């Protein structure tokens, strides 16, 4: 595993830890940040795996697109598109005024990211 892939993995783990930690905050948790960091952790894991498989993913945040790329280079890779779209949407929509995440959406983001993380790591 090269240094670039290790760096992607390290950043992914920090985003995942931040999302989990923020969900546990008792006073004034930032559910928007939970959703954002959950998505970021998965995006970075997907990019690390693509790079390991010789694919340069480019500067995209679209998990559905990254999923398509992974399907081409990782035998056995598949993930429900609706879950990828939820994570992508939650990371973007909740960053701007007009929409905010609640505890349920934050918990769903963590649950989805946890399962995705486990599967993605199994390919390394």
Tokens (6 digits) for 22 = 């923020």
- The CATH number linked to 83 is 1.20.120.330
For residue 75, what pLDDT band results from cuts at 50, 70 and 90?
very high
Residue-wise pLDDT tens digits, 77-95: 999 999 999 999 988 888 8
Indicate the pTM of the whole model: 0.96
Percent of the chain residues topping a pLDDT of 90: 91
Task: Please report where in the chains the tokens 């993995």 appear, as a residue.
Answer: 9
User: Domain tally for the chain?
Assistant: 1
User: Mean pLDDT score of the chain, rounded to an integer?
Assistant: 96
The b-or-e profile of 84-119 (16+ CB within 10 A means b, else e) is bebbbebbeebeeeeeebeeebbebbbebbeebbee
d(CA 103, CA 25): 11
Q: Is residue 108 within 8 Å of 82, Cβ to Cβ? A: no
Residue-wise pLDDT tens digits, 19-34: 999 999 999 999 999 9
Query: Residue 30: which domain range?
Result: 3-121
């Amino acid at each position: 595993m090269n240094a670039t892939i290790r760096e992607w993995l390290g950043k992914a783990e920090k985003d995942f830890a931040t999302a989990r930690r923020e969900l546990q905050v008792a006073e004034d948790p930032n559910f928007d940040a939970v959703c954002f960091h959950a998505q970021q952790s998965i995006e970075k894991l997907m990019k690390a795996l693509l790079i390991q498989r010789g694919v340069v993913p480019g500067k995209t945040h679209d998990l559905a697109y990254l999923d398509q790329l992974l399907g081409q280079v990782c035998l056995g890779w598949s993930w429900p598109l609706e879950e990828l779209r939820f994570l992508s949407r939650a990371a973007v929509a909740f960053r701007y005024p007009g929409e905010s995440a609640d505890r349920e959406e934050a918990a769903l983001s963590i649950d989805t990211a946890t399962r995705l993380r486990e599967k993605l790591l199994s390919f390394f």
